[in-house]
Amino acid sequence: MATNKDKLLESAQKNLKKKQVAKAIKDYVKIVELDPADVRSRQKLAELYVRTNKNTDAYEQYESVAKYFSSNGFYLKAVAIYKQMQRLDPSQIALFNRLAELNEKQGLVGNAMAEYRNLVDYYGRNGMIADEIKTLEKMRDLDLNNLNVRVKLAEVFAHNEREEEGYAELESVLEILGEKGDFDKILKLYKMFLPLYPKDKKLQMGLALAFYEKGDFSRGVTILEKLLTDKPDDPDLLRLLGRGYSDLKNWSKSCEIYQQLLTMDPTDLDIREAMIQCEIDGCKYDRALGELEEWKDTFFKADRLDRLKEFYEILKEKLEDNSIVFQTLDSIYELTGEGDKLLDIISEQDDKADEIVIEETLSDSLLGIAEDDIAVSDDDLILTDDSDDLSFDIVEDELLDLQLESSFEDDFSGESADSDAIIELDIDDSLDLSSGNSDDIDFSFDMDEETAEESAPAAIPNLQADLEETEFYIQQGLYAEAEKLCQDILAYSPDCVECQSKLEEIESLMNKEGQEVAEVEVEQTNTFASDNVTNLDFDLNLDSLRSDEDTEKRIFKTDVDEQIAADDMESHYNLGIAYREMGLLDDAISEFEKAEKEPARYVDCQTLKGLSFSDKGDYENAESMFQQALDSSLLEDIQRLNLGYELGLLYERAERSEDALTSYQDVFAQDNNYRDVRDKIADLRNTLGLSEGNSTDGLDEQKERISFL
């Protein structure tokens, strides 16, 4: 049998040299019949079938070869064969799954995800929902960090009566993006999923928070106000509303919300703190002082002495002649051990002619409380809302004073402002966010002006300050406030050119964003005419978030490139070689581009990319690859020789004989025995008419001179 096989192989080779492909095919058919396990001959037979356009026969032979490689652990070779089969018959969907599984086994997760993505696209187009979900779940389990896959899976679940599973995936993605602080992508997700869950209050609240994080408090407040109509006493909604109105500098409305919360729970010091801050920001200093005096003992018991001190220090500047502020601040400094500040307070008090002496100071009360804390158990400490006139004995013990001062210095720290940990897959901006209800509804609105604040003394207009404040409003998107301030400026300075210019700018911005004041109330009414939130229009807000218009149009894209770092570079390299051997040149170039991320393989990958481009007839790109390799700092001497020779071959193919001669001469100067470089030079010199013979004596002499020097 071996003799017959050898004769057939010899016959096949002769027939191929004579370009008698049909006869060669007959020889290889007989060889395969004699030795079915000869995969190399099967592969050659398949290639000959392809050359004669017998794709069905070629497909059959390739499949046998691919199964052999796969079952014996030669996954990369199997991948290359299946890719060739895919070229022959793209309709064979099963090949995507086989390629994905083989890439996964080889550790090429990025490649596997790309193949699975092709399956998802196919199943989606053909309504094969169960298969689409199954494949997406495979992708999710393969790469849990790929948020694109999880978003797609959530969307498919939601569209196919599996809303709870979709909602769970969505919440997980939102949480991850919230931790990253990627609120641009969070807004896009809300645009995608709110039409699918139109009555979900949690999503609507999340949308409001996302607007808050983007600095669009007006829209956030609008959503929360609507939600509040259904749940007027919801403390979470009220807290968020209070925060929103504060950020919008609507202090009176914010205080109103906080007062409602305090009516529900008077002991909530966080809310009371927020309300006092709003009263101070809104210049209601007397009201803030009243609140502080009533609750100062409670603030102390709750370890909020530093916050208390901050409030009183502000009031000290705002209420300069108020002895209550000075007396309480005096007591606070005694407790915190800030002697310098205490002396300053005493000095200020001495300068006043009519000093009001208060029999009991805060320090007396607080020291008395401290004594009680030592004398009684924790169970006896109960907060009460008794009158301000609390009576405590003054403790004289010096040791206790020292202990208090030490504990205050060590334990009391300023309470930091709360930051909402609101809930960027890495979401790809390629998600299609253009779907959904086309009704245009704008969240923008003007905050209703509250009842007039208490009248303040008339101030002399400051044109520059007012213009700066106007610019601030414009930057914050508060166009209605900016417009009103401009009108006020023109009332006392009608010839102000800069103010007129700002009015024109405001009008332009309002027109651009569809936020004209005259349309605001109509927009608000339409926005929440019903509980259905499918009409929410994000386009106005999201246009500025889109970095690439084309990527927005792509429905679903797996970020293969992000997975490359986790893949096996050697596998990419070997797969590229396998692809090139199979004639899959574009796929080979793609694999070499991935493998070149490893510095040690950079030069080899550039060289192989150059050879692949050369095989395609793309000589310009091939030359570029070779030159990049030559410019590499990692280039070794033998690689320089190889590249110089390959450049010579490339120039010959491109019919650039002079450049080819130069490349070969460079190689010869480094190694005059390298391959057939001597013959190459002689042939090119004859072609160019530079010499009659095949002599390279001049080159030898030149090399010797260079070496000698």
Domain assignment present for 456:
no
Q: Which residues 6+ apart lie within 8 Å of 220 measured at CB? A: 207, 208, 209, 210, 211, 212, 240, 244
Q: Are residue 374 and residue 484 in the same domain, yes or no?
A: no
449 pLDDT above the threshold of 80: no
Residue 544 binned pLDDT confidence (cut-offs 50, 70, 90): very low
Q: Is 493 exposed, middle or buried (0-12, 13-18, 19+ CB in 10 A)?
A: middle
Question: Which of 515, 546, 581 represents a domain boundary (last residue)?
Answer: 515
Domain assignment present for 78:
yes
Residue (of 705, 635, 699) closest to 669 by Cα position: 699
What span, in angstroms and rounded, lies between the C-alpha atoms of 302 and 297? 9
**pTM, 2 dp:** 0.54
Residue 350 binned pLDDT confidence (cut-offs 50, 70, 90): low
State the pLDDT at residue 336.
Answer: 82
Portion of the chain with pLDDT greater than 90, in percent? 33
Q: Are residue 374 and residue 303 in the same domain, yes or no?
A: yes
Out of 39-48, 143-152, 429-438, 681-690, least confident range: 429-438
The three-state DSSP-derived secondary structure of 299-354 is HHHCCCHHHHHHHHHHHHHHCCCCHHHHHHHHHHHHHHCCHHHHHHHHHHHHCCCC
Q: Are residue 498 and residue 604 in the same domain, yes or no?
A: no
State the pLDDT at residue 379.
Answer: 43
Buried b (16+ CB within 10 A) or exposed e, 229-264: eeeeebeebbbbbbbbbbbbbbbbbbbbbbebbbee
Q: Are residue 610 and residue 692 in the same domain, yes or no?
A: yes
Residue (of 68, 42, 70, 37) closest to 57 by Cα position: 42
Domain assignment present for 351:
yes
Q: Are residue 32 and residue 154 in the same domain, yes or no?
A: yes
CATH assignment at residue 697: 1.25.40.10
Residue 176 binned pLDDT confidence (cut-offs 50, 70, 90): very high
Residue 608 binned pLDDT confidence (cut-offs 50, 70, 90): very high
385 pLDDT above the threshold of 80: no
709 pLDDT above the threshold of 60: no
CATH assignment at residue 505: 1.25.40
State the pLDDT at residue 704.
Answer: 41
Domain assignment present for 432:
no
- Count structural domains, the chain: 4
Domain assignment present for 115:
yes
Q: Are residue 608 and residue 684 in the same domain, yes or no?
A: yes
Domain assignment present for 521:
no
State the pLDDT at residue 290.
Answer: 92
Domain assignment present for 507:
yes
End-to-end CA distance of the chain: 64
Out of 136-140, 624-628, 701-705, least confident range: 701-705
What span, in angstroms and rounded, lies between the C-alpha atoms of 301 and 291? 16
What span, in angstroms and rounded, lies between the C-alpha atoms of 69 and 578? 12
- State the DSSP string of 504-555: HHHHHHHHHHT--GGGHHHHHHHHTSSS--TT---HHHHGGG-S-HHHHH-S
Residue 497 binned pLDDT confidence (cut-offs 50, 70, 90): confident
pLDDT tens, position by position, 505-533:
888 777 765 543 334 333 333 333 333 33
Q: Are residue 33 and residue 114 in the same domain, yes or no?
A: yes
Rounded mean pLDDT, 262-268: 92
pLDDT tens, position by position, 56-112:
999 999 999 999 988 988 888 898 899 889 889 988 999 999 999 998 888 888 888
Q: Locate 627 and state its tokens.
A: 């030159």
Residue 672 binned pLDDT confidence (cut-offs 50, 70, 90): confident
Q: Are residue 173 and residue 24 in the same domain, yes or no?
A: yes
Domain assignment present for 439:
no
- State the DSSP string of 614-655: HHHT-HHHHHHHHHHHHT-TT--HHHHHHHHHHHHHHHHHTT
Q: Are residue 394 and residue 477 in the same domain, yes or no?
A: no
Q: Which long-range contacts (CB under 8 A, 24 or more apart) does 467-475 make?
A: 467/496, 467/498, 467/499, 467/502, 470/499, 470/502, 471/502, 474/502, 474/505, 474/506, 474/509
Q: Are residue 377 and residue 500 in the same domain, yes or no?
A: no
Rounded mean pLDDT, 212-234: 90
Rounded mean pLDDT, 688-697: 60
Out of 245-254, 535-544, 594-603, 697-706, least confident range: 535-544
Average pLDDT of the chain, as a whole number: 75
30 pLDDT above the threshold of 50: yes
Question: Which of 194, 215, 238 represents a domain boundary (last residue)?
Answer: 194
Name the residue with higher pLDDT: 81 or 583: 81
State the pLDDT at residue 341.
Answer: 66
Q: Are residue 368 and residue 470 in the same domain, yes or no?
A: no
Q: Are residue 396 and residue 470 in the same domain, yes or no?
A: no
Question: Which of 194, 223, 251 represents a domain boundary (last residue)?
Answer: 194
Q: Which long-range contacts (CB under 8 A, 24 or more apart) does 232-239 make?
A: 233/264, 235/261, 235/264, 235/265, 236/205, 237/205, 239/271
Residue (of 306, 313, 311, 278) closest to 294 by Cα position: 311
Residue ranges making up the domain that contains 152: 2-194
